[in-house]
Every structure is written in structure tokens, then in C-alpha cells.
Amino acid sequence: MYEIITKKKQGVELTTDEINAVVNGFTTGEIPKYQMSALLMAICLKGMSTRETTDLTMAMANSGDQLDLSALEGTTVDKHSTGGVGDKTTLIVAPIIAALGLPVAKMSGRGLGHTGGTIDKLEAIPGFRTEFTTEEFLHIVQKHGLCISGQSGNMVPADKKIYALRDVTATVDSIPLIAASIMSKKIAAGAKNILLDVKTGNGAFMKNLRDARELAQAMVNIGKGCGRKTAALVTDMSQPLGRAIGNSLEIREVIDVLSSKKNAPQDLIEICVALAANMLLLSGFGDISVCMAMVEEALQNGAALEKFAEMVAAQGGDRKYIDVPSNFEQAKYIIDVCAEKSGYVCEIDTEGLGIAAMQLGAGRKQAGDTIDYSAGIIMHTKIGSCLEVGDVIATMHTNMPETLDIVTRKVISSLKIAEVKPKIVPLIHELIQ
């Protein structure tokens, strides 16, 4: 291990055997944390080649259980988002894809800090189960075409151990390590085709477009190196996606989109149509215009909504909450926040709004915290909105009235107001293949 650390410190490529030995040795406890920390810092400073990063990804993917999806009929396709505020795209895209005949065996995570988790949102539906044996999981996918579950306890254990160490050694922001961490879980999840949604902006992990592009390209290269058809969309997270931030509020917004409601947020629809169409494109359904038409048809004819409701019932959830969303329990305190200045919204502190929703009870400060599924924020403004003093900019939902004053100030301060209308940033920056 001393020689391996020295090689990487000097910027020399590690061999496949060396990378496998490191991952296996650290996972089993043979390599101590202090040596692994030194290697992680050397990687952070010196980087890794595409071949090294692909080898690291495969070594991590092979460290635990892997899903075998070969028994499923049709091409298997997976999607991963790097996360943000109000990002409920999986809950819309997965039913669209399943309604169009492709099996979706999706493993998702929980939220922590300012970002929400897909599993937490689904668990806002009473009775909804997210933990299954592999056999149960695959049975639901075979029968219904779609299952979204929590991540397996023994899937990619190397990543769990390495990430815990990165978190306390200032090595989280290494693009090779980020890419290997994400892609090891995607490879272990078994899908042959992978579409990545790499967010950029102040509400995303990658704050600027250059870093987002670099991460997207690194992950696409890894996917191809591991024999998976892979592409990435670089998308905007400089403001919350859609209007709802918070678990049951976001589920209701998902139902609005799947029901083709006129008041469904257009930014969320645009992103979801693009993601679903590119998943179909990867899977050989035709050119992008054909794929987009198929996606829009699945939304318009109700097939995607029906598939979502079918999945909810198959996973133990109460379908009446999908059929009649007003059945969701409402928070006791629903309070509007009003603008104190006139002008155009030129900037939104997206991460700050995610933290504000967490303070209302919608998220976790640390693992193990309890979530209030009814809590959150509905935003009524976007970048470019024209405000007058007294206009409602957001509505807070909470069962903790003691948080209202501080969150009100946080929401107001999250909007930067100017006299001139700002240039609107595109929702989709580029496709990387």
C-alpha cells in the first residue's frame, strides 16, 4: 500500500490489479483508514485516467451484491440524477418508461441536508413499501414493469466505506471519486442502458457548468468502459425544479404532471420529457423526435399515470391517494410569504430554500431524523418573475409553528430582486454521449 500511495502521489497510473487490491483490502479491513486516506488525497490532487476510474468503479461494484436483470423481458434502462431541490423527476420518468414497455428496476436513496430523496417522497404515500428481497423486487418488475426500492444493504459496500472516509478527509470533491461512486451503484443495479441527469447551479452539487460537464463526461466514459450504453444530460438547478419542495407536496405535483393538468409546472414537464425521451433513444426506439412524441403520448393518454398508480398499489401503497390527491394529510400551519420589494427575480438561493424546507420538517439534518411528510414549501416565483410588494412568493407548510419566523426570513432573503429582467438560463444545457 505504501508503494501504491507513492505512485499516485507522483502522478503515476495505478494498475488494474493494484486498484482491485486496494478496494478489496479496504473493504475487508486489511488496509487501515490512515493509508486509504492518504491514497484518496493523492487521487484528489493528481486525478485518475479514464481507465483507472473505470477499474475503480468495477472494483467497487464487485465488492458486494449485484442485480441480475437478465430474466426481465425487454431492454433494461436506468436513470440517475445528481440531486437538487424539488427534483422529483424519477417519479414521473420511471412510469412513462414502464408504460412504454421497458422494465424499470430502480434503486433510489433517501434525502439528507438540502436535497430530497426519492424514497422519502414515495413513503409519504401511506402503506408504500421500499424495502424488498431481491426476489420480491424482481417479481414486482416482472409483473408490473416498474419497482422503485431503497438500496440493498450489501450493494457496493466498498463505496459506503470509502465515501464515509472521503466525507471526513476533504476528498469529496474529486471528480474521479464522485464518478466512480455514482457509477459503481449504477453498474451493480444491473441495467444495460444508463441515462445520467447531471445538475448544475447553486442548488446542485456541481455549482458551475464546467465541473458538471467534466463529471458527466467522466461518468459516460465509465459507463461505456463497463459495457453499458450511457449518456448524460446536463440540466439546470439554479432554482427549484417545479414548485413543490417537500415529500407529499412533491407527490401531488408528480400526479399533476402525470395527469397532464394545465397548472402542472412547465419546467418539470420539459425536463421529464427530455429525460424519458433520451432513455428511449438509448434503448433504440428511434430518433429523438419519435421518442419525444412517444413520451408525450404516454402522458396525454393517461398510461403513465396508470402505471404510477399500479406501482403504488403493487408496493403496498394506498391507491386512493393517487386517484384523489386531496386525501394527503395537510400540515396544520399553511402560511403565505409575501414580497417586500418590487422588481424582477434575478437569482434564487436554491440550496437555501432546500434548507428552509428541512427546517419546516420536510428533511433531515442528519441520518435518522424523523421527517414530516406534509411539511415543505410551494414556490410561486421563478427567475424572471415580476413582483410587486405584497405578492405571494411562497407558501410554507409545517406542523412546527416555532419555525415560521426564521423560515419566512430565509425564503424572503433567498430571492434577489433587480430592476432589470434577467436573462433566462436554459433548463437543458447539453447532451453528452
CATH number at residue 352: 3.90.1170.30
Residue from 80, 161, 213, 410 carrying the catalytic annotation: 80
Neighbours of 27 (CB within 10 A): 20
- Indicate whether 276 and 377 sit together in one domain: no
- Per the domain annotation, does 55 fall within a domain? no
* 156 in any annotated domain: no
- CATH number for the domain spanning 37: value is 1.20.970.10
**Beta-carbon contacts of residue 336 (< 8 Å; ≥ 6 apart):** 392, 394, 395, 396
Q: Are residues 335 and 317 in the same domain?
A: no
Residue 404 shares a structural domain with residue 305: no
pLDDT at residue 112, rounded to an integer: 62
For every residue of 100-159, DSSP letters joined together read: TT--EEEEE---BTTB--HHHHHTTSTT------HHHHHHHHHHHSEEEEEPPTTSSHHH
In this predicted structure, what is the pLDDT of residue 34?
A: 97
181 is catalytic: yes
272 and 400 in a single domain? The answer is no
Amino acid at the residue 122: L
Q: Fill in the amino acid letter for 132.
A: F
Domain assignment present for residue 242? The answer is yes
Residue 362 is classified by DSSP as I
CATH number at residue 188: 3.40.1030.10
Domain assignment of residue 260, given as a range: 77-151+171-323
Q: What is the pLDDT of residue 332?
A: 98
103 and 12, same structural domain?
no
Same domain, 212 and 102: yes
Is there a single domain that holds both residue 129 and residue 90? yes
Q: Is 203 in the same domain as 287?
A: yes
Catalytic entry in 181, 238, 283, 385: 181
Instruction: Give the per-residue pLDDT at 71.
Output: 87
pLDDT value of position 74: 84
Say what the pLDDT of residue 345 is: 98
Question: Is residue 166 flagged as an active site residue?
Answer: yes
Query: At CA 259, angle to CA 268 and CA 97, rounded to 5?
Result: 70
For residue 24, what are the CA distances in angstroms to 10, 17, 21, 286, 409?
23, 10, 5, 42, 49
The DSSP annotation for 206-256 comes to B-SHHHHHHHHHHHHHHHHHTT-EEEEEEEE-SS-SSSEESHHHHHHHHHH
Residue 62 domain-assigned? no
How confident is the model at residue 113, as a pLDDT? 62
Return the H-helix or E-strand segment holding 6: helix 2-9
Q: Which amino acid is at 367?
A: A
Q: Are 125 and 189 in the same domain?
A: yes
228 catalytic? Reply is no
Query: For residue 426, is it within any domain?
Result: no
| 275 plus 393 within the same structural domain | no
Last residue of a domain, one of 323, 342, 362: 323
In a domain, 427, yes or no: no
Catalytic residue among 185, 229, 252, 397: 185
Catalytic entry in 78, 87, 120, 159 = 159
Say whether 159 is catalytic. yes
Q: Which of 166, 213, 228, 397 is catalytic?
A: 166
In this prediction, residue 62 carries a pLDDT of 96
Per-residue pLDDT of the chain (433 residues; tens, 9 = 90+): 999 999 999 999 999 999 999 999 999 999 999 999 999 999 999 999 999 999 999 999 999 999 999 888 888 999 999 988 999 999 999 999 999 999 999 988 876 667 778 999 999 999 999 999 999 999 999 999 999 998 777 889 999 999 999 988 999 889 999 999 999 999 999 999 999 999 999 998 899 999 999 999 999 999 999 999 999 999 999 999 999 999 999 999 999 999 999 999 999 999 999 999 999 999 999 999 999 999 999 999 999 999 999 999 999 999 999 999 999 999 999 999 999 999 999 999 999 999 999 999 998 877 777 899 999 999 999 999 999 999 999 999 999 999 999 999 999 999 999 999 999 999 999 999 9
Do residue 112 and residue 237 come from a single domain? yes
In a domain, 65, yes or no: no
Residue ending a domain, choose from 264, 298, 323: 323
Note if 252 is an active site residue. Answer: no
Single residue among 292, 323, 354 that ends a domain in this structure: 323
What is the domain count for the chain?
3
Say whether both 369 and 241 belong to one domain.
no
- Is residue 289 in some structural domain? yes
